[in-house]
Amino acid sequence: MERFAIVDIETTGSHARGHGITEIAVIITDGFSELDRWETLVDPGLPIPEHITKLTGIDDTMVAAAPTFEAIADELEDWLGDAIFVAHNVGFDYAFIRGHFETMGRIWKRPKLCTVRMARKLLPGHGSYSLGRICTDLGIANNARHRAMGDCAATVALFHQMMQTERAEAVVQSMLKRGERESWLPQHVPASDFENLPLTAGVYRFLDRKGVPLYIGMSHNVRHRVRTHFNGDMASSRRQAFLRDIHRIEAEETGSVLLARLLEDELIRKHWPIHNRAQKSVAMRTAIIPYTDQKGFNRFHLKRQRHIKQAVRWFYRDDDARTWLHACAREHQVDPEMLGLGTDGRNLLRDDSPQAIARHNEGVTAIMRSARQSERMALIEKGRNHQESAVVLVENGVVYGWCYTEEAIERFDQLDEIIPMKPGSATSDAIVQHALQEFEAGKITLRVWKEPATKKPPEGGLFA
């Protein structure tokens, strides 16, 4: 005997992303008679908007003592069981419930039927197929509109009426056959591609029918990020063409967000997918450019530009460049204006004697020497499993390469033997610089091993 789970939910908003469920009702039926029913209020984990309360009558006090979705997830899954999921405008209810399971890291999937589409096929001629209007037309009572059980019971009555029509079985089977695959996935993509995506950090690729990458992306949760690509407006012809061209989805875990960003950049620059535009231009940077003025003073000026060949040092943010130069000016007793940091407007006359010029130039030379000193470091991150670590080798802010390793590293120079050189890019350098800034600000956990005189690994070893 076929079992159908008629479902209705009340929520805090109109789309699954960013909103919560406040009430769930389920009625189990064989298509002709009700077999059982279940309902519960749900704590959505966020305030219920006033307009939602006016519509449903559900307010924050009513759900204050209600269970969270996580608390009732097992019970709900038992109720839905192996039944066909049925709802009026099924995409709404299904998306919310599936999305809530996904946030728990669980895969939840059921065949589904939409009573709106069924009604259009089996009960033609109505001016509106909203639940309220179609039930009014058919004389179906609903004494609790916009409450989960009230609307659920009305949907059951509508469903039972439709199942008694002559073409009902054929329509249901046709709709189920079309709904065997995920309706939100691009038409050529097998559902197994999505189900095999990791729920951890990694890189994913949308491939065309020849296996050529159309788009490459990264996320801390690959499956969740891929799902968001297929939400939203389908009206754009460019978006429709993009989805139509996708035939496969591939992904690989990286163990950490840092490695995901680096691998994403490497793969984009290897394949140049037509839908990746952000990385196709070289990033603008603040370059510190040296020059000598007419009096013989060695000076700097700051310039936003893409190339950095003539730069003493460069930064992605202008503020970072100025902070570094101010520190250098204090340390080497050099006038900040001579380092490109502007003036207070007084335009003071300087001592331009040969002795003064020599003292000044000596300080600028010291700044240039310190800027060009080789500083090598290794950024140590989580690997893809408990046995390995990821290591990124950096010199003077430039990424030289990275790898995964299970080897016991005792000396810094061993890294040169195990880390393959990468082509690198301005983007990968910026990724590492941003990670170091977040590390210094205490926003992320990262182990940084600078090349010391002793060449010993960080305390606890490379894999601590």
The residues carrying an active-site annotation are 146
> What residues are paired with 402 via a beta bridge?
392
Instruction: Give the H/E segment covering residue 173.
Output: helix 168-178
Instruction: Choose among 405, 97, 422, 379: nearest CA to 258.
Output: 379
Instruction: Choose among 94, 90, 97: nearest CA to 70.
Output: 97
DSSP structural state of residue 149: H
What is the C-alpha separation between 459 and 174, in angstroms, rounded?
64
**In this structure, what are the phi and psi dihedrals at residue 422, rounded to the nearest 5 degrees?**
-110, 155
Instruction: Tell me the CB-side half-sphere exposure of residue 63, using CA atoms within 13 A.
Output: 25
Q: Under 8 Å CB-to-CB from 71, ≥6 apart: which residues? A: none
What is the C-alpha separation between 151 and 87, in angstroms, rounded?
10
Computed from CA positions of residues 183, 188, 193, 199, in that sequence, does the dihedral angle turn out positive or negative?
negative
Neighbours of 133 (CB within 10 A): 12
**In this structure, what are the phi and psi dihedrals at residue 411, rounded to the nearest 5 degrees?**
-130, 150
In the numeric block, the tokens 């950490």 are attached to 256
**In this structure, what are the phi and psi dihedrals at residue 28, rounded to the nearest 5 degrees?**
-95, 130
**Two tokens, residue 47:** 């305030």
What is the C-alpha separation between 52 and 49, in angstroms, rounded?
5
What is the C-alpha separation between 18 and 96, in angstroms, rounded?
10
